[in-house]
Each structure stands twice: as C-alpha cells, then as structure tokens.
C-alpha cells in the first residue's frame, strides 16, 4: 500500500492523473508510459537542480551584497585618507619647508644682530670714555674762571677785566670788542654744561645697549631650530602614515573589487542557471504531464479505414511553424523565407 501511494505521489508530482486516462491499457500508451517514466526521472532531477541553483543564487546574492558594502566602505575610507593626504598632508609638508627656511633666516638675522649690537656697545663704551675726558676738561675750564693764574687768558677771551677788590663786575664789553664775540659768555657756559648733559646721555645709551644685548640673548631665537626640526619630523611621520594607510586601502579596494567582480559573475551565472533550469523543469513537467494521457485532437476518426487521418496534424504543425516564425523572425524574414522556397 505504501509503495502504491509512493508511486501515485510520484505520478502526481510529474503532473499525471492516471484515473483520467481512458487508454491506459493500449500498447501505445504503455510505450508512452515507459518514455514518460524517463521524463519523470528528469523532472525530479531538474527539480533538485532548480533548488540547488535557488540556494546558490540566494547565497551568491547575499555574498555580493556583503562584498559590495565592504567595497563601498573601503573605497570611502581610501578616499578620506587620499583627500586628507592630498590637501592636509601636502599643505603640512610644504609648510614645514617654509618654516624651515624662515627659522634659518631668523637665526642668521639674530646672529648678525648680535654681532652688530656688540659692535655698537663697544663703540658706545669708547664714546663714554671719551666723554669722561670731555667732562673733566669742562670741569677744569669752569674752575679756571676763578683761578687768578688764568685771569689774563679770560680777559682776552671775554674782553672783560676782572673786578678789583671791593668793586662789582660791570659786565660791559670794551668799545673795540669784536661784534662776533659778544655772545662769548653763553658759548663758554654751553661748553662747560653740555659735557655733563652728554655724559648723562651716554650713560643712558650705554645702559640701553647693554639691556638690548640681554634681550637679544634671552630671546634665544636659535631654540626655534630644534622645534622646527621636531615639527618637521612629526609632520613627515603623519604624512607617511597617511600614505601608508592610503596604499593599504588601495590594495584592499583592488582585492575587494576583484572579489566583487567574481560575485557579480557568480550571481549572474547562478541567476542564468536558475532561470534555465526552471525553464527545463517546466518543459519536462509539461511534457511528462502531456505524456500521462496524451489526447491528440488532430487525428481524424473515420469509419473508412482507407482515408488518411493525420492531415489535420500536419496543418497544426505548420501553424506552429508560422507562430515560431512570427515570434523569432525580424522584418524581412518572410521575404527571405519566400526566396528560399
């Protein structure tokens, strides 16, 4: 009973309903049944193949989507590193060259400035010593005014004789005194007091020169050089890191691109095979179903056994030819067929 049920199920799976057949005992039907069993086996095999390609297509589709996401993510990561290296990395490396040149110029200028400041300080020191001599000379000149040993000289210079004992100095110039010497008192006063003012100025200059040298030394521009070198090294390391990651992502992207192409090929192959085997399965299934109880409506049933019975079948086949021609032929196909005939 189980065997019979299994056989019936197999018949039904192949699209056959034996109870519907009216000619199941005929020899021709038995021959057809033998052929149908062969097709039924192929139906089962085709069904398994369809399931295989369905699973294959499903798996390849999932793998394709996964690889596509991986490729897009890797490509995006590569583009971010590439754009960062092109813009930020290049700008950073160019900036280090500019900073290097500027620091070099600053150090050279600082060295020249230090040399010039020292030369200026040396000259200020020399001028300070000479002004000291000038102050001493002014002091001696001032003290000589009241020294009786120099009264004759002062009389010649100023044109005035010293006041006698008990007399007030008149301050008047003699009538024959040159006009160009009338301001001699003011000139002598300037000669005596100006060295003192100049001495105070040279002291200020001396002190300022010393302080400027100290400022220049403590500014220590040379310390910029190791900072510049450290910045250049770190910038180079950063740019190298960007380039290394960019190359790595580029290699990953190429490998993922190859895998993605393989997935596209496999998915296309699986889809094509799936549709092919579905078509094969349906063709085999319909063929097997037709062979179960074939009903040929084109065969003429005549009482006269001497008349042909298959003329209508020939016409049906011609109709199929016409349908195929109309379906697959392009414009002009009919003309070519006519010429061939």
pLDDT means over runs of 10, the chain (341 residues) = 52 63 62 76 88 94 94 93 91 92 89 88 88 86 75 70 53 63 75 86 88 84 88 92 92 94 95 93 83 68 69 78 70 50 48
Cut 0.75: pTM above it: no
Residue whose C-alpha is closest to residue 291's, from 34, 41, 27:
34
* HSE value, Cβ hemisphere, 13 Å, CA-based, for 7: 6
Per DSSP, the residues of 81-127 read HHHHIIIIIHHHHHHHHHHHHHHHHHHHHHHHHHHHHHHHHHHHHHH
- Other C-beta atoms within 10 Å of 16: how many? 21
Q: Would you put residue 220 in left (φ > 0), alpha (ψ -120 to 50) or beta?
A: left
CA of residue 175 relative to chain centroid, distance: 99
Listed residue (42, 79, 21) closest to 288, CA to CA: 42
Distance CA 280, CA 293 (A): 21
Instruction: Using alpha carbons, select from 261, 292, 269, 284 the residue that is nearest to residue 23.
Output: 292
């Amino acid at each position: 009973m189980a065997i019979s049920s299994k056989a019936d199920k197999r018949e039904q799976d192949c699209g056959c309903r034996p109870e519907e057949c009216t000619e199941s005992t005929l020899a021709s039907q038995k021959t057809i049944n033998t052929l149908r069993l062969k097709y039924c086996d192929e139906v089962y095999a085709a069904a398994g193949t369809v399931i295989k390609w369905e699973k294959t297509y499903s798996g390849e589709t999932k793998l394709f989507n996964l690889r596509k996401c991986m490729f897009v993510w890797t490509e995006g990561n590569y583009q971010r590193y590439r754009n960062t290296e092109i813009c930020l990395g290049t700008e950073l490396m160019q900036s280090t060259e500019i900073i290097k040149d500027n620091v070099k110029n600053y150090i050279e200028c600082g060295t020249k400035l230090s040399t010039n400041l020292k030369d200026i300080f040396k000259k200020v020191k020399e001028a300070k010593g000479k002004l000291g001599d000038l102050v001493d000379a002014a002091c001696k000149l001032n003290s000589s005014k009241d020294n009786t040993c120099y009264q004759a000289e002062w009389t010649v210079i100023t044109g005035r004789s010293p006041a006698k004992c008990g007399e007030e100095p008149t301050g008047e110039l003699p009538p024959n005194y040159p006009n160009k010497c009338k301001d001699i008192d003011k000139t002598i006063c300037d000669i005596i007091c100006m060295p003192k003012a100049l001495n105070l100025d040279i002291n200020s200059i001396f002190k300022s020169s010393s302080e400027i040298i100290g400022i220049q030394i403590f500014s220590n521009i040379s310390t910029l050089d190791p900072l510049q070198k450290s910045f250049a090294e770190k910038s180079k390391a950063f740019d190298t890191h960007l380039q290394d990651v960019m190359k790595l992502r580029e290699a990953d992207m190429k490998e993922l691109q190859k895998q993605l192409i393989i997935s596209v090929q496999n998915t296309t192959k699986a889809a094509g095979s799936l549709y092919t085997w579905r078509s094969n399965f349906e063709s085999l299934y319909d063929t097997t179903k037709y062979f179960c109880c074939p009903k040929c409506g084109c065969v003429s049933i005549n009482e006269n056994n001497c008349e042909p019975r298959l003329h209508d079948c020939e016409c049906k086949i011609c109709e199929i030819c016409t349908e195929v021609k109309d379906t697959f032929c392009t414009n002009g196909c009919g003309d070519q067929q006519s010429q061939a005939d």
